[in-house]
Amino acid sequence: MSPNLRIAFRFLTAKKRAMLMSLSCIVLGVGLFVITQATTSGFEKFFIKTILGTNGAMRVQDKIQDTMRSMAAGGENSKFRISSREGRKYIEGIEEPQLVVNALMKFANVSGASIVLNSPAILRNDSKTDSIKIFGINLDDHLRVSDLASQIVDGKLEDFRNSPSGILIGRELCNRQGLAIGDSIIIDARGQQRRYRISAIYETGVSDIDRAYVYLNMGEARSLLKKPTGATYIQVNLIDKDRAPEDAVHIEEVLQHQARSWQWREKPWLSAFKALSISSAITTSVFTLIAGLAMLNTLAMIVIEKTKDIAILRSMGYERKDITQIFLWQALIVLAIGTSVGAALGYAGTYAVSRIPMPVTGIFRTETFQVYISPWHYVAAVLMAAVMVMGASIIPARRAARMEPGDIVRGTST
């Protein structure tokens, strides 16, 4: 152990109570930071997982048509004309969806693509009606781009696959209409009314989906909507979902169809989660700020109380930088203990919070607090505490180092 560290440790143990305040704040600051970040990230990740499992990582939809503007280069009568791209026009839907799917599957990051035909409709059941959205899908393709299989809560997907008149319906819509597996309903779309039977009930936890989305087999949807060709959009699954924005730009350029990443689609929610994460980080950083102030106060007290010790050390040949180090070591020891205990508290707290029952539906469905444990939360918490505590310690440490031993011994030190 270096002489400076040894002295720092003894000084520290002499002010245990005062240091305990700083230590407690560091522990609380680091622990709460880790817990709040783990929960906000947990809910964000869970939301992303839900939304990716339902709406996919990317959607390729309307066809792009560039519009051109031209002008005569040499006056009104000139035959030379200069053309420039003015903007983009979108033609609704996809005319040749299979060609687009074939092209999409050549992108390295694309793991699946499902053609979807979508239209608003009315669901009738006895005297009750509900506005719904019907989605014509090829089941096997759609299972490759969604978590539909794991979202089935009642009935069997096999029944849907084998029954042309079978439908998949959300649990919330079922509850509203009082429906169950095997019940028949009427769907009214584009002036046609057809009867369908409920093959399975799904639940995503997203209210907007569970109360409005009804899945039909593609053949039946084309017949009902009188659209023998084309598609509303193609739902795409990606291997690396974080690359969706870059892939969307690339796909849009190559395929000349509008491509939207999940990050673009869910921007408002993602922004809300980010704001929540920053807000909780700011709130919990108050504890580390207090820890810094407590450390400043405690070290300042130690400087005053140990003035004579500083003079002794200086008279024995300890340099100014040694004195600075002795005080910074004290802060570092408290910081090391505080962040270690705080990180352990954060980990234990995160585990405990993840066990708290908390049924949530609306934007996703969960029964417990969602947490996400990331080493970066711990790194950020420790860095924040280190900056505040060490920053606050520099002032008393430098003050101690500036003291003139002659003045102290004479008793005139201020």
Q: Does 329 engage in binding with other proteins (CB under 8 A)?
A: no
Beta carbon nearer to other proteins, 5 or 289:
5
Q: Does 68 engage in binding with other proteins (CB under 8 A)?
A: no
Q: Which stretch binds other proteins (CB under 8 A): 19-27, 69-77, 206-214, 312-320?
A: 312-320
Residues 353-412 that bind other proteins (CB under 8 A): 404-407, 409-410, 412
Contact between 200 and 152 under an 8 Å Cβ cutoff? The reply is yes
Q: Which stretch binds other proteins (CB under 8 A): 38-46, 135-143, 266-274, 309-317?
A: 309-317
Beta carbon nearer to other proteins, 175 or 315:
315
Beta carbon nearer to other proteins, 101 or 401:
401
Smallest CA-to-CA distance from 214 within 199, 229, 226 is with 199
* Residue 22 backbone dihedrals phi, psi, to 5 degrees: -65, -45
Q: Does 324 engage in binding with other proteins (CB under 8 A)?
A: no
Q: Does 69 engage in binding with other proteins (CB under 8 A)?
A: no
Q: Does 94 engage in binding with other proteins (CB under 8 A)?
A: no
Beta carbon nearer to other proteins, 11 or 160:
11
Q: Does 314 engage in binding with other proteins (CB under 8 A)?
A: yes
Q: Return the HEC string of 36-69.
A: HHHHHHHHHHHHHHHHHHHHCCEEEEEEEEEEEE
Residue 187, classed as helix, strand or coil, is strand
Contact between 231 and 98 under an 8 Å Cβ cutoff? The reply is no
Task: State in angstroms the smallest separation of the CB of 328 from other proteins.
Answer: 17
Residues in contact with 195: Cβ distance below 8 Å, sequence separation at least 6, in sequence order: 165, 184, 185, 186
Size of interface with other proteins, in residues (CB under 8 A): 27
Beta carbon nearer to other proteins, 10 or 81:
10
Q: Which of 233, 262, 318, 364 binds other proteins (CB under 8 A)?
A: 318
Number of Cβ within 10 Å of residue 84's Cβ equals 8
Task: State in angstroms the smallest separation of the CB of 335 from other proteins.
Answer: 21
Contact between 202 and 149 under an 8 Å Cβ cutoff? The reply is no
> Exposure string (b/e) for 62-77, b if CB count within 10 Å is 16 or more?
bbeeeeeeeeeeeeee
Cα-Cα end-to-end distance for the chain: 32
In the numeric block, which tokens belong to residue 103?
Answer: 């092209």
Beta carbon nearer to other proteins, 47 or 318:
318
Task: State in angstroms the smallest separation of the CB of 18 from other proteins.
Answer: 15
Q: Does 320 engage in binding with other proteins (CB under 8 A)?
A: yes
Smallest CA-to-CA distance from 44 within 370, 281, 360 is with 370
Q: Does 10 engage in binding with other proteins (CB under 8 A)?
A: yes
Binding mask 269-308 for other proteins (x = CB under 8 A): ---------------------------------------x
CA atoms of 114 and 35, how far apart (whole Å): 39
CA atoms of 130 and 123, how far apart (whole Å): 5
Beta carbon nearer to other proteins, 16 or 79:
16
Contact between 404 and 413 under an 8 Å Cβ cutoff? The reply is yes
Q: Left if phi > 0, otherwise alpha if psi is -120 to 50, otherwise beta: which for 148?
A: alpha
Beta carbon nearer to other proteins, 257 or 314:
314
Task: State in angstroms the smallest separation of the CB of 341 from other proteins.
Answer: 24
Q: Which stretch binds other proteins (CB under 8 A): 124-132, 194-202, 319-327, 390-398?
A: 319-327
Beta carbon nearer to other proteins, 75 or 411:
411
Using the Cα atoms of residue 143, residue 145, residue 147 and residue 148 in order, give the sign of their dihedral.
negative
Residue 184, classed as helix, strand or coil, is strand
Beta carbon nearer to other proteins, 14 or 149:
14
Contact between 344 and 20 under an 8 Å Cβ cutoff? The reply is no
Task: State in angstroms the smallest separation of the CB of 38 from other proteins.
Answer: 41
CA atoms of 237 and 123, how far apart (whole Å): 30
Q: Which of 8, 11, 93, 232 binds other proteins (CB under 8 A)?
A: 11
Beta carbon nearer to other proteins, 156 or 402:
402
Task: State in angstroms the smallest separation of the CB of 336 from other proteins.
Answer: 21
Q: Does 319 engage in binding with other proteins (CB under 8 A)?
A: yes
Footprint of other proteins on this chain (CB under 8 A)? 3, 6-7, 10-11, 13-14, 308-309, 311-320, 322, 404-407, 409-410, 412
